[in-house]
Amino acid sequence: MKIRTRLVIAVLSLLVSSLLVIGTVTVTAARRGLTRLATQHLSFKAEEIRKYAWNQWDVLVTNGLSDLPLFRDAAREAVRSYAASVVRDEFQLVTAYDHEGRIVFSSSGSRTPFSEDLWSDLREREGIVTYDLNGVNRIGYLFRFDPMGWIVLTSVDRSEFYAEIDEITKGMIIATVITLALAALVLLLIAARLTAPIASLASGMRKIAESREFDARLAIDGSHELRDAALAFNAMSHELHHTYAQLRSIAVSEAAARTELGTREMEALLILGRLSEYNDHETGLHIIRVGLYSLLLAQLLGESPEQRRLLYQAAPLHDVGKIAVPESILLKPGPLAEHEREIMQQHTVVGHRILSDARSPSLKAGAEIALTHHERYDGFGYPRGLRGTDIPLFSRILSVADVFDALTSHRPYKEPWSFEHALELVAAERGKQFDPTVADLFLEHRDEVRDIFLNAELKGR
């Protein structure tokens, strides 16, 4: 929310609250005053009627006429006339009831009686009362005149009595709404003028922050506080510009160092891999081709660049355990005896033992590959007899790459197979020795495989 909007809302909220409090207090006080005035007026009229009735009765008693019906009726008629004379408008009413609630007389001529429940409540009271008659709320003053057996009620329509104050209230509400609308307009104009420099300052800050052009500077103008803010931001931008320049220089140097370190690490891994092939008189192209085949398969499987790089660096270490296998077994031209095969198979465990304590991610991955790259998908591999996806993915990838390259390479015990012949074996061992998904990808992309097969020496540089 913008500052100007917050400012307008805050001021308007304060103004509305103040006007509501003032209006409520004023209207409440006015209604209380009118109610007090109404009760006093009704009490005064009731007392005047009561005095007149007692005067009429005293005349009868003084002259010994109180027991004569004719004179009693004349006194009642006199009281009726006087009561009617005190009514000043149609909203005022004077009514006399007998003790059963029947109307004796009414200044309006109405003969509508009270309901039984309302009369049972009113007949026991005296003084100011409020009640509903024919859907109209009235306020009145009730008194008893026992000599004539009357209960007299002077009353007024409450809504009409408050009509003027209600009109005043409506006028106040309309005036308040107009005042608030004008105040909101004025506040918006004032807020716009007050916040324009702040908005301009914020826009400049945002532009510099988003563009990262920390050598740019904000204009120094506006009030004292805004000038201080601009100066502080410019000082911060200057420091950031200097810091970013240093960080860029450090980043470039670190990137170059990392590149150099990565190159040397890869060279060390290749040398370590070649060491495992030393007794086998391998030229070193085997581990390069295996690494490139593995890298291709990892890419086809959708592995992340980090995982592909890790596999490519770890692949040369798959046969590092062969360093512990005697040369007589490694270079034997014929089939291995059972005990010789057992010794040869130990190269997986030895390789894992050599690499397992390393902290380098490449060496850790190499330890896992060294241990499990001779496991078979059907569970008949070694050294653990793992099956299916229990074999780590890197080892399932490298198994295809290693076997294919071993088949197409010269060994003391065999001549190299042709490229197509080796592919046929991969197809035949799909789901047996090899993960079917990995084998299918290898076969489907034979052109890329052939390119590595023919140009590994150039690609491995």
Q: By percentage, how much of the chain surpasses pLDDT 90?
A: 27
Q: Does residue 210 sit within a domain?
A: no
Q: How many domains does the chain have?
A: 2
Residue 206 lies in a domain: no
From 151, 169, 187, give the residue that closes a domain: 169
- Please report the pLDDT score of residue 43 as a whole number: 77
Digit-coded pLDDT (tens) for 161-214? 666 666 777 777 887 788 778 777 776 676 666 555 666 666 666 777 676 676
Same domain (yes/no): 142, 288 = no
pLDDT at 372 over 70: yes
Q: Give dist(CA 192, CA 194) in Å, integer.
A: 6
Sheet with 150-157: list strands edge to edge. 103-106, 92-97, 150-157, 136-145, 127-133
> What local confidence, expressed as pLDDT, does residue 455 receive?
85
Q: Are residues 143 and 291 in the same domain?
A: no
Single-letter code of the amino acid located at 386? L
Q: For residue 272, tell me if it sits in a domain.
A: no
pTM attached to this predicted model: 0.46
Structure tokens at 236: 């911060």
- Give residue 93's pLDDT: 79
pLDDT at residue 224, rounded to an integer:
63
For the segment 280-306, the average pLDDT, to the nearest whole number, is 85
User: Do 299 and 158 belong together in one domain?
Assistant: no
What percentage of the chain has pLDDT greater than the value 70?
A: 71
Which backbone phi and psi does 57 adopt, to 5 degrees?
-70, -40
DSSP class per residue in 223-258: SHHHHHHHHHHHHHHHHHHHHHHHHHHHHHHHHHHH
Q: Give CA separation, 115 vs 142, 143, 251, in Å.
A: 17, 19, 97
Whether residue 184 is contained in a domain is answered as: no
Q: Which of 169, 193, 224 is the last residue of a domain?
A: 169
Residue 303 included in any domain = yes
430 located within any domain: yes
288 lies in the same domain as 409: yes
216 strand-pairing partners: none
Angle, vertex CA 205, rays to CA 201 and CA 208, nearest 5: 140
Which backbone phi and psi does 97 adopt, to 5 degrees? -125, 150
Cα torsion angle, 117, 119, 122, 128, sign: positive
With bands split at pLDDT 50, 70 and 90, how would you rate the model's confidence at 286?
A: confident
Whether the link from the prior residue into 392 is cis, omega within 30° of 0, is: no
Which residue(s) pair with 114 in the sheet?
none
Average pLDDT of the residues of the chain? 79
* Mean pLDDT, range 362-388, rounded to an integer: 95
pLDDT at position 348 is 95
Residue 277: pLDDT above 70? no
What pLDDT is attached to residue 283? 47
**Is 230 among the domain residues?**
no
Residue-wise pLDDT for 422-456, tens only, equals: 999 999 999 999 999 999 999 999 999 999 999 87
- CA–CA separation, 134 and 151 (whole Å): 20
CATH of the domain at 436: 1.10.3210.10
Domain that holds residue 427: 277-459
Helix (H) or strand (E) holding 398: helix 393-407
The answer to whether residue 123 scores a pLDDT higher than 60 is yes
Contact 87, 63 (CB under 8 A): no
Q: What one-character-per-residue DSSP string does 289-338 give?
A: HHHHHHHHHHHHTT--HHHHHHHHHHGGGTTGGGGGS-HHHHT-SSPPPH
User: Looking at residue 197, what is its pLDDT?
Assistant: 61
∠ at Cα 275 (274, 278), nearest 5°? Answer: 85
Q: For residue 78, give the CATH number of its domain.
A: 3.30.450.20
Mean pLDDT of 9-32: 73
The pLDDT assigned to 295 comes to 95
Predicted confidence (pLDDT) at residue 257 exceeds the cutoff of 50: no
The single-letter DSSP state of residue 413 is: T
DSSP string, 105-132: EETT---PPPPHHHHHHHTT--EEEEEE
Final residue of a domain: which of 138, 169, 200? 169
Would you state the pLDDT for residue 423?
96
| pLDDT at res. 275 | 53
Q: Which has the minimum average pLDDT: 23-27, 74-78, 138-142, 280-284?
A: 280-284
Task: State the DSSP code for 87.
Answer: -
Q: Find out whether 446 and 427 touch, Cβ atoms under 8 Å.
A: no
* Domain assignment present for 261: no
- b/e string for 95-134 if b means 16 or more Cβ within 10 A? bbbeeebeebbbbeeeeeebeeeebeebbeeeebbebebe
Q: How many helices (H) and strands (E) does the chain have?
A: 16, 5
